[in-house]
């Protein structure tokens, strides 16, 4: 499957969900609408595309300019040895996206990381807790609005002595 044929197939499969297609250092970058994020990823997971590996879920804060977060999904197809980057925008005031932990098992922890660092709520996630920071941590530290000199409150000692 050549690159143009692949993009054409993806456009046919996902229909109006695709907002834009671009190329970044030889890898295809898809921009999809936030409300059709999960069906788009489910479509790419199966069939001829076969993106069986979810490499990473990250988030970018564009708060200074546009007041939005951008979720970035990195996919990889083992059978075809190609990568795909999928982006979608969520509003920074109320960041919410559909969980894909049912499609890829590892999405559970990756979404917890995005929740911990950026406060993006993933609806349908079975256990959306903090993963890198601890219980009692206030705020989401990788947001641009997080105060850079904020001192966290003192938490109580966990273990009884």
Partner 1 sequence: MSGFDFLTTRLETALGWGRKFSLFHYPFITACCGMEYMSAACAHFDIDRFGAGLTRFSPRQADLLLVVGTVTHKLAPVLKTVYDQMLEPKWVIAFGACAVSGGIYQNYAVVQGIDRIIPVDVYIPGCPPRPEMVLDGLMKLQDKIQHQKQDWRWGKKP
Tell me which residues touch partner 1 (CB under 8 A): 133-134, 137, 139, 141, 146, 148-152, 154-158, 161
Nearer to partner 1 by Cβ, of 20 and 157: the residue is 157
Name the residue nearer to partner 1 (CB basis): 6 or 131: 131
Q: How far apart are CA 153 and CA 161, in angstroms?
A: 21
Which is it for strands 68-77 and 82-91: parallel, antiparallel or unpaired? Answer: antiparallel
CA 123 to chain centre: 12
Query: Minimum distance between the CB of residue 147 and partner 1, rounded to whole angstroms?
Result: 9
Residue 25 vs 148, nearer CB to partner 1: 148
The distance between the two most distant Cα atoms of the chain, rounded to a whole number of Å, is 64
Nearest-angstrom CA–CA distance, 152 and 40: 39
Say how far apart CA 25 and CA 153 lie, in whole Å: 43
Which of residues 74 and 143 has its CB atom nearest to partner 1 in the complex? 143
* Closest distance of CB 150 from partner 1, Å: 7
At closest approach, how far in Å is the CB of 139 from partner 1?
8
């Amino acid at each position: 499957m050549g690159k143009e044929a692949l993009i054409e197939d993806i456009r046919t499969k996902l229909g109006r969900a695709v907002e834009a297609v671009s190329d970044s250092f030889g890898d295809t970058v898809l921009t999809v609408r936030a409300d059709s994020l999960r069906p788009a990823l489910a479509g790419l997971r199966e069939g001829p595309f076969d993106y069986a590996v979810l490499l990473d879920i990250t988030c970018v804060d564009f708060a200074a300019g546009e007041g939005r977060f951008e979720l970035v999904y990195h996919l990889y197809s083992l059978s075809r040895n190609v990568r795909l980057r999928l982006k979608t925008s969520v509003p920074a005031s109320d960041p919410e996206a559909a969980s894909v932990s049912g499609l890829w098992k590892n999405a559970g922890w990756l979404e917890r990381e995005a929740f911990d660092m950026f406060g993006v709520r993933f609806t349908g996630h079975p256990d959306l807790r903090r993963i890198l920071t601890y219980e009692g941590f206030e705020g989401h530290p990788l947001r641009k609005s997080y105060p850079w000199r904020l001192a966290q409150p003192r938490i109580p000692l966990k273990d009884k002595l």
